[in-house]
Structure 1
């Protein structure tokens, strides 16, 4: 089976997806670039095609509206994009964190390349943290990711990690993510994004206030069932029995995680609470959901359908506590 992760590095404990080369904490950006496999460039070439004519030599034509992006090291093609497409280089993703790690107390924890170079990211701990009752620690992170195939805008996302289970959750309130997105028809300006993130990161206290409210909100069994059906099956809890639902395995798994099998599910903050409901879903998406490999699960949990499920879980939990 082909791996989705091309290369990756991490500092500290092994990340939840179990991938990558281990680095000492507070390593230089240059070392991160090498060990994370991000020491190459995205190059451009005009698009040409060959037309075959019976009885004649083939003719080479150009297609000026588009260009081919390819890797400088392997020459492997990455995508065909329009001439208006602005690339963000792998080194730029890491350079984004240089002043944050030198001056602002951030620490890089993971960085890497997905899908042969079509997508790459870096994740840093911000130094923010909060503790819910029962020593349930939640830390703040900043994820910067981009693509060169049009599947992902350059996106800076404030993220949380629950320490006891390494569950990840995007900071989002009132149905809107705090992520800053720069489409590829616009040039990526790190200074502008950091100014915008100043507003987003300031939402940490409000976000954790809401999470503490989830930890205080006790739920009944019928509320838990309704929550999981809404989140996992996008179904109403009335009428259908679990045996009749299309996503029965997922529903049963998150119920088991919530009812005691999940990491941290027995903590005071999670046992029988809306916070426990939310973390049952995030643990399922990050660790238990069926996937071709851990690499595919990571991609989904951060950028794909898994991220959408976690957002749905957060919205539903906040509604319960409203």
Structure 2
């Protein structure tokens, strides 16, 4: 079975996905580059092909509108993209955090490579935290990721991690930018991205205020079941509906007490507890080929979309 995570590094406790090389804290970016598998560059080459019938001599031609991206270390191909495609290098992902870690008190926590180098990310803790009832702590992070296979723009976003269970959730801010996405047709400007993202104390306080509201919203059983239907149900009679019924049952069990932190005062019987049942299901239990596939989905794919849908539906319960 293939693993999506080629290499990664982390500090502190083992990440929720259980992968990576453990580092001592406060390591320089150069150490992170090596240990996270980011010490290489994305190179470019013209696309060439041989015309003619199979197994017959042909003419070597160029596909002028496109180029091949490949790794400088292994020479392994990464993708074929338009000539207008602007690459974001692995080093740029870590360099984004240099002033944040050296001046602003941030600390890198994980960084790594997915899909053989086609997707790259780094995650840093901002130093901000919030507490809900029952000493239920959530920490603030900034995630920066990019891909060179056309699957995603370079994306920076505020992310929260609930400490008791390591559940992750993109921070959605009222009246502010949830994520900054830079198209690969544009030049990646790290300082402009930081400015647009708004890495401020007030943004985090606003998010924690929303979580507090969810933790104070008591739910009836009928409300919890209706919430799960809105989040999970597909068209009536589809195979997806049957699969989602199993997912709903798993989430309901997590909400009713089997989930990590489900019996804390902030979560038991509340909209916040129900939201965390969904995030725990996506991050830890949802079926995936490997832990790397689950990470990719939970941060960038269907799992991330499902968590966002759950947050939107939970927010309606306190509107």
TM-score (ref. length: structure 1): 0.94
Query: What 5-or-longer segments of structure 1 have no aligned partner?
Result: none
**Corresponding residue of 1:97:** 97
1:70-97 Cα offsets, whole Å, 9 max, x none, are: 0001100000000100000001000100
What's the CA shift for 1:248? 1.7
**Following the alignment from structure 2 to structure 1, what is the Cα–Cα distance between the partners of residues 153 and 79?**
15
Matched, 1:308 2:308: no
Which region of structure 1 is more displaced relative to structure 2, 27-36 or 168-177? 168-177
TM-score (ref. length: structure 2): 0.95
**Following the alignment from structure 2 to structure 1, what is the Cα–Cα distance between the partners of residues 2 and 53?**
38
What's the CA shift for 1:178? 1.1
Q: Cα distance 1:69–1:55, how it changes in 2: closer, same or farther (>3 A)?
A: closer
Asked if structure 1 preserves the Cα contact closer than 8 Å seen for 2:173 and 2:203, the reply is: no
1:127-163 Cα offsets, whole Å, 9 max, x none, are: 1110001000000000000000110100001000000
Q: Which runs of 4+ in 1 moved over 6 A?
A: none
**Corresponding residue of 1:141:** 141
Asked if structure 1 preserves the Cα contact closer than 8 Å seen for 2:234 and 2:244, the reply is: no
Alignment of 1:280-319 (within 5 A): 280-319=277-316
**Following the alignment from structure 2 to structure 1, what is the Cα–Cα distance between the partners of residues 174 and 231?**
16
Alignment of 1:167-186 (within 5 A): 167-173=167-173, 178-186=178-186
1:195-225 Cα offsets, whole Å, 9 max, x none, are: 1122676421111101000000000000000
Alignment of 1:185-196 (within 5 A): 185-196=185-196
Q: CA RMSD in A?
A: 1.9
**Following the alignment from structure 2 to structure 1, what is the Cα–Cα distance between the partners of residues 242 and 317?**
23
Alignment of 1:40-189 (within 5 A): 40-52=40-52, 57-173=57-173, 178-189=178-189
Asked if structure 2 preserves the Cα contact closer than 8 Å seen for 1:179 and 1:200, the reply is: no
**Corresponding residue of 2:24:** 24
Q: Cα distance 1:55–1:164, how it changes in 2: closer, same or farther (>3 A)?
A: closer
Which region of structure 1 is more displaced relative to structure 2, 196-205 or 177-186? 196-205
**Following the alignment from structure 1 to structure 2, what is the Cα–Cα distance between the partners of residues 264 and 51?**
62
**Corresponding residue of 2:244:** 247
Q: How many pairs align? A: 316
**Corresponding residue of 2:318:** 321
Query: What 5-or-longer segments of structure 2 have no aligned partner?
Result: none
